[in-house]
Amino acid sequence: MADVQITGERTVPDLPAENYWFRRHEAAYRRLAPRVAGRRVLEAGCGEGYGAALLAGPAAAVTALDYDAYTVDHVRSAYPDLPVVRGNLVALPFAEMAYDIVVSLQTVEHLWDQPLFVRECLRVLAPGGQVVLTTPNRLTFPPGNVFHTHELDAVGLHDLLADAATLTELRGIHHGPRLRAWEERHGDLVEAQVAAEAEAWSDDLTQLVASVTVNDFEVRDDDLAGCLDLWAVAVRA
């Protein structure tokens, strides 16, 4: 089975040093799972595939799509029951009204033409269908990720979606109480991780990162400027 290389472009499961980022992303998928029950779902930008595989449980059907051929080969090997397609996110290879929900988590920041991507997501949705996006908050995310072409804050994400659809939710993903308590004692958790390679982390940081679960994150309506990631839902008219 092909392994996804750790480059900073995609988050992968089952690596202790990556566990914080994996659980932070997984928390959004877990929150999303009840929403997709019985629905036809497209994940646009599936990455390693763990999210599409998780959503395949409650959904009527899930199609995973990614542009990277190496990643698509990995998904086919790691999740053989998951339909996966290689395709361009700004020219989705699907018919109009093919899906009830388009999910794209931590993907839009990688794209050069974000408005065209949103229009393509809406095109393949049935009337009343939803597009669900998450993206790192530009105001809090560490700078310098070479794979991000254009990061968004809450205003930017609002404008991107509201120009083409009816925006129904705009929320923020935050650290929960346990991680906030750690930061009160030790400082910013993300900064501590990116400040050094994992081999140089303190024992306290290493143990915390390895212990993070989806329950260490919460989605809230307040403090969008200070959130970790943005969560948005828009509906096709």
Over residues 127-150, the pLDDT tens digits come to 999 999 999 999 999 998 999 999
- The confidence band for 1, taking pLDDT boundaries of 50, 70 and 90, is very low
Total structural domains in the chain?
1
Q: Does residue 202 form part of some domain?
A: no
Q: Name 129's Cβ contacts closer than 8 Å, sequence gap at least 6.
A: 97, 99, 100, 101, 102, 122, 235, 236
Q: Does residue 105 form part of some domain?
A: yes
- The confidence band for 8, taking pLDDT boundaries of 50, 70 and 90, is low
Q: Does residue 196 form part of some domain?
A: no
The region that residue 172 occupies, defined by phi over 0 for left and psi between -120 and 50 for alpha, beta otherwise, is: beta
Long-range residue pairs from 76-81, CB within 8 A, at least 24 positions apart, any chain:
77/1, 77/2, 78/1, 78/2, 78/48, 78/49, 79/49, 79/52, 79/53, 81/56
In sequence order, the β-bridge partners of residue 105 are 134
Q: Does residue 209 form part of some domain?
A: no
Judge whether residue 117 has pLDDT over 50.
yes
Judge whether residue 10 has pLDDT over 70.
no
pLDDT of residue 2: 42
**pLDDT per position as a tens digit, 212-227:** 999 999 999 999 999 9
Q: Does residue 148 form part of some domain?
A: yes
Judge whether residue 43 has pLDDT over 90.
yes
What's the domain range around 231? 16-173+222-235
Q: Does residue 188 form part of some domain?
A: no
Judge whether residue 7 has pLDDT over 80.
no
Judge whether residue 3 has pLDDT over 90.
no
Q: Which amino acid is at 110?
A: H
Q: Does residue 1 form part of some domain?
A: no
- The confidence band for 5, taking pLDDT boundaries of 50, 70 and 90, is low
CATH number of residue 142's parent domain: 3.40.50.150
Q: Does residue 86 form part of some domain?
A: yes
Tell me the mean pLDDT in the region 2-15: 65
Q: What mean pLDDT value characterizes the chain?
A: 94
Alpha helices by DSSP H, 106-212: 114-123, 154-162, 177-186, 189-194, 203-211
